[in-house]
Chain A
Amino acid sequence: MTGSARDRAAAVLTRHGTLLLFLLIVFVFGTQAPAFIGPENLGNVIKQASFIGIAAVGMVFVLLTAGIDLSVGSVMYLGPLIAGFAMRDYGVGVAGGLVVAVAAGAVMGAINAFLIVVLKIVPFIVTLSTLFFFRGFGAYLTSSRQFDFPDEIRAFGLSSVFGVPTPILFFVAVALAAHLVLSRTAFGRQVYAIGNDEPAAAKAGIRVGRVKASVYIICSSLAALAGFILIAQIGRLDTGFGEGREFDVIAAAVLGGASLFGGFGTAFSAVIGATMIQAVKTGLVFTGTNLYLQPMLQGLIIFAAVFLDSLRASRLEMLRRRFIRPV
C-alpha cells in the first residue's frame, strides 16, 4: 500500500533531511546564478566555511557529551592574539605562532574543563563566564586596540599547496582527524557513551572526568586554530573579532546533525553544517539579496533543519514505542 511507500519516503526525508535541504539550496542558487555552482565558487565557499567549520568540529566533541561551549567566540580572539604577541615581540615564526595559538586555546579549554569537571559547575554558566573573561583579557592585552600581525602571516594565510588553499587543507585535515578520533579510537567511542548515559558510563568504568575535560580542551584548541587561520588571511585582529560567533559555531554543528542532548553527531556534521551556512551566505550574495535580509534567510534555513531534526526525533521515539504483539 501507499502507507509503506509513504513511510519509506518519510524515513528517507527524516534521516537525510539536512542533506536534501543542502542540495535543494545549491540547486536553487544554481538556477538563479549559474556561476554559483562553478568549481571556483564552490572552492571559495569551502574556504570561507573553514573558519566556522574548524571550530564546529571541536564543538561537536562537546555537544556529543551533552555539554555546550559558549566561549569559542572569545577563544577565537584570545588564542591568535597571544600567538600574535609571540610572533611580534618574540620573533616566533608563523608555524610557531600557530602552535602558540593552539596551545593557548588548549589552556583556555583546560580552564573550562577544570570548572566543569572538578568544580562541577554547569557548562552553560562556565563557558558563559569565560566568554566574558577571555575577551576581557584579550582587550586588556591590546588596550582594546586593533592588533597588527607581522606581514609574513598573510603569506601563509593566502598560500596554497598544489592549488589547494591552506585554509581548506587545514579544514580537511581537522575534519578527517576528528572523524578518525571519534569513530576509531577508544576515546572517541567513550565520548559517545558519555553523551548517551553519563552515570552508566561511569559505572562501566569509563573515566568520565578525563574524557569530558578532553572534549573542552579539544574544542578550545580548534576554536583558536580556526581564529588563527582566518587571521592569517586578514593580517590583523580587531577587538570585536569572533564576537557572537559561538552561535554560528553551535548552529553549524547542530545543522549538520549533532544533537544538543548529546550522543549524536559526527565530525562531518560540522563540515556539512558550516558549508551549508556558508553556501547560503554566498548564494545570497550571488543572487544580490539585500545585505540585511541575508541573516534572516539563514535563520529560516537553520530553523528548517532543526525542525527536520525534531521530526526525526519524534519519529525515532515512535519507532521505539514497544509493540507487544505483531502488527
Chain B
Amino acid sequence: MNDGGLSAAHSARETPVPSMRQRAMRLFLSDFFVLYLSLAYFLVLMPFLPTLSNPANIANILSNMWPLLVVAVGQTFVLTIAGIDLSQGSVVGFTSVVGAMLLATTASPDVLSNAPIWGTIITENGGPLAGVPGGVAIAILVMVAAGALIGAANGIAIAHFQMPPFMVTLVTMIVISALAIYLTQSENIRNLPESYIQLGKGDIVSVYFGEQDESRIPRRQIHSFVTYPMLIAVTVAICAHVLLNRTVFGRQVFAIGINRKAAKISGVPVKRVIVLVFTISAICATVGAILYSTRLEAGRPTLGDGNFLLDVIGATVIGGTSLFGGKGKIIWTVFGVFFFVLLSNTLNLMNLSSFHIDMVKGTVIVAAALLDVLRTRLIQGDAL
C-alpha cells in the first residue's frame, strides 16, 4: 500500500541474474516508468527540435509544470479514495478572483462598475487589503479558507449524504464558476500588488548563458530555474507525499480507496477522511490559483475553465494513479504532469496548432491508459 501496489510485483520479481526480458519488465513496472518515457521522448525529439533543450525552453517547461502539479496533487488524493473532483477548475477561477478583489491596488470603473463587488469590496482605490501591511498573507488566508470551505462542502455531501462524487463536484463546478463570473461580471481584476505577483514570477536562481563581458545582461537572456512557484509546488508535493505515505491519515486514505466497508469496520473514520480529502483537493486548487493568477497578473473568473480540468485528471492518470481508488502516488503525479507539460511544449515547438495538440493529447491519454491496463494485468498475473 505504501508502495501504491505496484512495487509489490516489482520486488517479488527479483532474481539473482535478471534476463533481458525481466529487466524490460522491471523497467515497465517501475515507479519511474513515466519519467523514463518522458526522458526518452525528450532525447528522441532533441535532434529534430533544436530549441527543445534551450535553457529558455526548459525554464518554460518548468514554469508550466508547477501550477498544474499543485492542482494534480490534490486530485491524486481524491482519486486514491476512488472519488473524482470536477470542481477544481472552478475553485481555481473563484479563488483567483477572491484574492485579486482583496488585493488590487486600483480598479477601473470602466471595467468593473457593473460588478456586484464594485463599491463594496473593490473601488477605484482597489480592494480592502490594498496597501495594508501583511495584506498579501491575509488575502492568501482568505483564499485558502474559501477553497477549503468549498472542498469541505463537497466532502460533506459525498460522505454524509452518500451522493456520487461525480455529480456533487459537477454541480460545484457549475455553481462556483458561475459565482466567480457573477462577482466580476466576467471581467478580469488587474493591478495586483508587486509582492503578490512575486509569488508567481519571482525567481531565486537564474542563469545567464550569454557573454560575461557585457555591462548589462539583457533581461530576456536570464533564465529562471529556481522560482517561487517551484518552491511552492515542490513543498506542496513533498508535504502531500509525506501525508499520503507516512501518516495515519495517508494509510486511512488508501484503506478507504481499497475497501471502504473493511475500512469502516476496522475503525477508520471514513466520513472524516473523505471530507478532509476533498478539502485538500480544493486547497491544492487554491494554491494553483495563486500561481496561475500571479503569473497572469490578474484574477480571472474563467481561469480554470475549458480543458483545464481534463488536463489535471489526464496528467494524474497518466502518472499511474487509478480511477478506481487504492492506487496512487505523488511521485507518479509529478512524472505524469511532467510528461503532459513536456508533450504540450514539444507540440508547440513543432508549430502544431492547438487542434493537433488536442488530438495528440487524446491519443496519449488512451495510450497511457492502455499501458496501465497491461501493467495491471501483468501484476495480477504475478500475484496469482
A and B: direct contact (Cβ < 8 Å)? yes
**Residues of chain A whose beta carbon lies under 8 Å from any beta carbon of chain B:** 115, 119-122, 124-126, 128-140, 143-144, 243-244, 247, 250-251, 254, 260-261, 290, 292-296, 298-300, 302-303, 306-307, 309-311, 313-314
| CA of A296 to CA of B162, assembled, Å | 22
**Given the interface contacts A133-B359, A254-B167, A260-B166, does A128 sit within 8 Å of B314 by beta carbon?**
yes
A132 to chain B, nearest CB (A): 3
What residues of chain A lie closer than 8 Å to B186, measured between beta carbons? 292
Which residue of B175, B182, B355, B357 is within 8 Å of A290 (Cβ)? B182
Q: Is B226 interfacial (CB 8 A cutoff)? A: no
Do B185 and A132 touch across chains, with their CB atoms under 8 A apart? no
Which single member of A138, A294, A296 contacts B355 (CB below 8 Å)? A138
* A122 in contact with B362 given A139-B353, A296-B179 (CB within 8 Å): no
Bound-state Cα–Cα, A135 to B362, Å:
10
Known pairs A130-B366, A135-B358, A314-B162 / 10 extra A-B pairs, C-beta < 8 Å: A121-B373, A125-B317, A126-B369, A143-B353, A250-B170, A292-B178, A295-B174, A296-B175, A299-B171, A300-B175
Residues of A within 8 A of B170 (CB): 247, 250-251, 302
Does residue B13 face the partner (Cβ distance < 8 Å to A)? no
Flag if B363 contacts A122 (CB, 8 Å): no
Q: List 17 A-B contacts (CB under 8 A).
A: A124-B323, A125-B369, A129-B366, A129-B369, A130-B362, A132-B310, A136-B354, A139-B353, A139-B354, A144-B353, A244-B306, A247-B174, A292-B178, A292-B181, A302-B170, A310-B163, A310-B164
Provided the pairs A121-B369, A131-B310, A302-B171 are in contact, do residues A136 and B178 lie with their beta carbons within 8 angstroms? no
CB < 8 Å: which of A122, A143, A299 contacts B323?
A122
B307 interface residue per 8 A CB criterion? yes
Instruction: Give the CA-CA distance A126 to B322 in the complex, in Å.
Output: 14
Min CB distance A214 to B, Å, is: 21
Would B355 and A136 count as touching, CB distance under 8 A? yes
User: Which B residues contact A (CB, under 8 angstroms)?
Assistant: 86, 157, 161-164, 166-168, 170-175, 177-179, 181-182, 185-186, 306-307, 310, 313-314, 317, 323-324, 353-366, 369-370, 373
Min CB distance, A39 to chain B, in Å?
30
CA of A302 to CA of B174, assembled, Å = 10
Known contacts A125-B369, A299-B175; A136 and B358 CB within 8 A of each other: yes
Contact A133 B362 (CB under 8 A): yes
| Residues of A with C-beta under 8 A to B182 | 290, 292-293, 296
Q: Which residue of B lies closest to A133 (CB)?
A: B362
| Contact A140 to B164, CB < 8 A, known contacts A121-B369, A132-B362, A303-B171 | no
Question: Which B residues touch A138, using CB under 8 A?
Answer: 355
Contact assessment for B163 and A129 in the assembled complex, using a CB-CB cutoff below 8 Å: no
- Residues in A neighbouring B317, C-beta threshold 8 A: 125
Please give, as numbers and ranges, the residues of chain A lying within 8 Å of B355 by CB-CB distance. Answer: 135-140, 144
From B377, which residue of chain A is reached at the shortest CB distance? A120
Task: Give me the 3 closest cross-chain CB pairs, A-B, nearest first.
Answer: A139-B355, A136-B358, A133-B362
Q: Which residue of B lies closest to A303 (CB)?
A: B171
- Cα A124 to Cα B309 with chains together (Å): 13
A119 and B313 contact, CB distance less than 8 A: no
Is A132 touching B171 in the complex (CB atoms < 8 A)? no
Which residues of chain B are near A139, meaning CB under 8 Å? 353-355, 358
Indicate if the CB atoms of B362 and A129 lie closer than 8 Å.
yes
Whether B373 contacts A120 by the Cβ 8 Å rule is yes
B322 and chain A: residue at smallest CB distance:
A122
Complex-state Cα separation, A285 to B355, whole angstroms: 35
The minimal Cβ–Cβ distance linking B303 to chain A, given in whole angstroms, is 15
Contact B306 A295 (CB under 8 A): no
In angstroms, Cα B310 to Cα A309, docked, is 27
B162 near A313 with CB under 8 A, answer yes
C-alpha spacing A138/B86, complex, angstroms = 25
A122-B369 in contact (CB<8A): yes
**Chain B positions within 8 Å of A134 at CB level:** 362
Distance between Cα atoms of A296 and B177 in the complex (Å): 8
CA distance A131 to B309 in the complex (A): 13
Minimal beta-carbon separation of A30 from chain B (angstroms)? 24
Contact residues in B for A247 (Cβ distance below 8 Å): 86, 170, 173-174
Task: Say whether A136 contacts B373, CB under 8 Å.
Answer: no
- Do the beta carbons of B362 and A295 come within 8 Å of each other? no
Assuming A121-B369, A122-B323, A306-B171, is B178 touching A299 (CB within 8 A)? yes
Q: Which of B163, B166, B178 contacts A294 (CB 8 A)?
A: B178
- A133, B363: Cβ atoms under 8 Å? yes
B138–chain A nearest beta-carbon distance, Å: 27
Cβ-closest chain B residue relative to A243: B306
CB distance from B244 to the nearest CB of A (A): 22
Could you tell me if B361 and A129 are in contact, using CB atoms closer than 8 angstroms? yes
User: Is A140's CB under 8 angstroms from B306's CB?
Assistant: no
**Distance A309 CA – B172 CA, assembled complex (angstroms):** 17
Q: What are the residues of chain B within 8 A of A314 when measuring CB–CB?
A: 162
